[in-house]
């Protein structure tokens, strides 16, 4: 049986399909609030996160067993009790997937591939304290 090859086209297509599914979900959080005639207030980010460089913090944690180290970035997962969403005051469901592999370009060039893909859906408080329901995608 031939070995399946992960191509750049398949990765980009899969990511685009996932993002399109998140955007098409009901009551998209970034849509205009027609009922009240207001633009939505963004959710509050979780406190803390990963510091990429001095002063450059992204409000995200890497959930998963701490004995797992991703092969290309060398990042270590931070435990099973860390926040999997990026939204503070969130109650709902979340899904997290880390993909690791290689991609081959049309010209034969091989690329290392690591992704962190997440989707979450539920209720949250915005920055003004109003409760909302939303569906989010994080790639």
Asked if 57 and 46 count as a contact pair (C-beta separation under 8 A), the reply is no
**Count: domains in the chain:** 1
CA torsion, ordered 95, 101, 105, 110, to nearest 10 deg:
150
Q: Is position 66 within any domain?
A: yes
What pLDDT does 94 receive?
93
Residue 71 lies in a domain: yes
Domain assignment present for residue 3? The answer is: no
**DSSP per residue, 95-108:** EEEEEEEEEE-TTS
What is the tens place of the pLDDT at every residue in 38-81? 667 788 999 999 888 898 999 999 999 999 999 998 999 999 99
Q: Give pTM, 2 decimals.
A: 0.65
Please indicate, yes or no, if residue 1 is contained in any of the structural domains: no
Residue 85 lies in a domain: yes
Structural domain range at position 128 = 8-138
Instruction: Report residue 73 CA to chain centroid gap.
Output: 17
Alpha carbon distance 101, 61 (integer Å): 21
Task: Tell me the two tokens of residue 64.
Answer: 């998963």
Query: Does some domain include residue 64?
Result: yes
Other CB atoms within 10 A of residue 48 CB = 12
Q: Tell whether 2 is covered by a domain.
A: no
Answer whether residue 103 is part of any domain. Answer: yes
The string of pLDDT tens digits covering residues 5-28 is 555 555 445 544 444 444 433 344
């Amino acid at each position: 049986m031939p070995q399946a090859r992960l191509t750049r086209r398949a990765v980009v297509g899969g990511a685009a399909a996932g993002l399109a599914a998140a955007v098409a979900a009901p009551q998209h959080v970034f849509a205009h609030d027609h009922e009240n005639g207001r633009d939505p207030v963004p959710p509050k980010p979780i406190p803390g996160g990963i510091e990429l460089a001095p002063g450059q913090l992204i409000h995200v944690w890497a959930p998963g067993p701490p004995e797992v180290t991703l092969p290309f970035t060398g990042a270590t997962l931070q435990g099973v009790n860390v926040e999997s969403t990026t939204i503070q005051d969130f109650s709902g469901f979340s899904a997290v997937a880390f993909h690791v592999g290689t991609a081959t370009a049309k010209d034969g060039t091989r690329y290392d591939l690591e992704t962190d893909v997440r989707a979450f859906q539920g209720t949250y408080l915005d920055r003004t304290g109003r409760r909302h329901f939303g569906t989010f995608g994080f790639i």
